Structure 1
């Protein structure tokens, strides 16, 4: 049986990535997909690129790849600044090859945020009152132009799958590398899993059933690395799955 591991939002967290890959292989996964936001963060961007580049997985760019390649250092946030300072030209050349979306199979479509934007959430809505799960009918409207039976997205770091009334599924595997963060777009909000576990998903390649998976790993080593780089916010998130 063909089983596909879906990973997203690795953010340079190599121990979490290695744990997810090991777990996926133990579950019989023989294909891997990467939904972007791969290197940016205060952890191990160079080492993460060295791990991934030889594997040649189907991979799309997230907003952090776009920002690394298009923004000046004056425009970058702290996570992109760290990656920008250490990755080499070979890593940048690899990032330039990554498309923003990908019709990977006739029945599986990949995007980072939504079909149109790498900054918007597919399965969550943000207002001044907070974050809510997007209702299925609104999710269906967001993917109305696609006919694939499975649409895979990332970006929010929040694992969720939604079954649509026409039988299709839209799923977010969560984040491999960062279980919580806060952001001020479009309103200040926090995204939190409440656990330090790394997240990914397993897709049955025949039925397209999606299983959301949480994997324990040595998150303390990642938290200490973040602290050493002056990122106490990341250290808190990596230890607790909370952003505050």
Structure 2
């Protein structure tokens, strides 16, 4: 069985359409979605409509949670834009999502950040001056403790990465469908930059003998159109990230 793993679409409907077309073209029917679906200055409503029209197992990310729990004046600018673009049926869909899922029949555990938090990086860590690097093995193992699944899925950092734990379980981040670079100020100011504007997702092949193959897919799409929408919506920082993969 092949399962497509998507995450961190961030309202980028053109990127999502390209990824879904690639998945459909491969005859793959099973998709899991790791959150942060809509928050972005591109096309949140159309992104929501695309997701709601499909049978995709989805969970809630930190930006999805913010859209549901904060008042607009307490939101960051990107979430305020997104909140204004959505209607009640979109918010009802977000409200229906849980923060984690355990798909025992497929051997998958889904979370956005870590099993305990949608804000904590799992496979990456930061230096005190904001340099992003792969987290050390002990920290990755510690955050996986007690999760009974052979395949652990996370998003949040937008960086495609696969780590094999000492007991043979794997932790997979498929990368970001719609946001190839961003800047954040927590816990320290830092930039995450993939260096490419391509949309990222992953394929998991679960074999009857217990083997699991993983393929990362980096999909070319009309990122210029997404960048133009971000620019028109007053976000030149997003436009540069979408155009280049750099901040």
Q: Give the SS at the match of 2:73.
A: coil
State whether structure 2 residue 146 is matched by structure 1 residue 142.
no
Structure 2 Cα separation of the partners of residues 110 and 200 of structure 1: 15
Structure 1 Cα separation of the partners of residues 164 and 59 of structure 2: 23
Q: Is the 8 A contact 1:193 1:242 kept in 2?
A: yes
Provide Cα deviations, 1:75-124, integer angstroms capped at 9, x if missing partner.
Answer: 10111101100101001111100000000225210000011111111100
Provide Cα deviations, 1:126-172, integer angstroms capped at 9, x if missing partner.
Answer: 12231110123321111111120000000001110101111110000
Superposed structure 1 runs of 4+ greater than 4 Å apart: none
Q: Give the SS at the match of 2:158.
A: coil
Q: CA deviation at 1:210?
A: 1.6
Gaps of 5+ in 1: none
Instruction: Write out aligned runs for 1:224-235 (5 A).
Output: 224-235=228-239
Provide Cα deviations, 1:174-198, integer angstroms capped at 9, x if missing partner.
Answer: 0000000010110111101000000
Report the counterpart of residue 125 of structure 1 in structure 2.
125
State whether structure 2 residue 224 is matched by structure 1 residue 223.
no
Q: Is the 8 A contact 1:24 1:202 kept in 2?
A: no
Instruction: Write out aligned runs for 1:37-186 (5 A).
Output: 37-106=36-105, 107-129=107-129, 130-186=131-187
**How many equivalent pairs are there?**
242
Q: Is the 8 A contact 1:41 1:78 kept in 2?
A: no
TM-score of the pair, normalised by structure 1: 0.96
TM-score of the pair, normalised by structure 2: 0.95
Report the counterpart of residue 18 of structure 2 in structure 1.
19
State whether structure 2 residue 203 is matched by structure 1 residue 202.
yes
Q: Is the 8 A contact 1:156 1:191 kept in 2?
A: yes
State the Cα RMSD in Å.
Answer: 1.0
Gaps of 5+ in 2: none
Report the counterpart of residue 245 of structure 2 in structure 1.
241
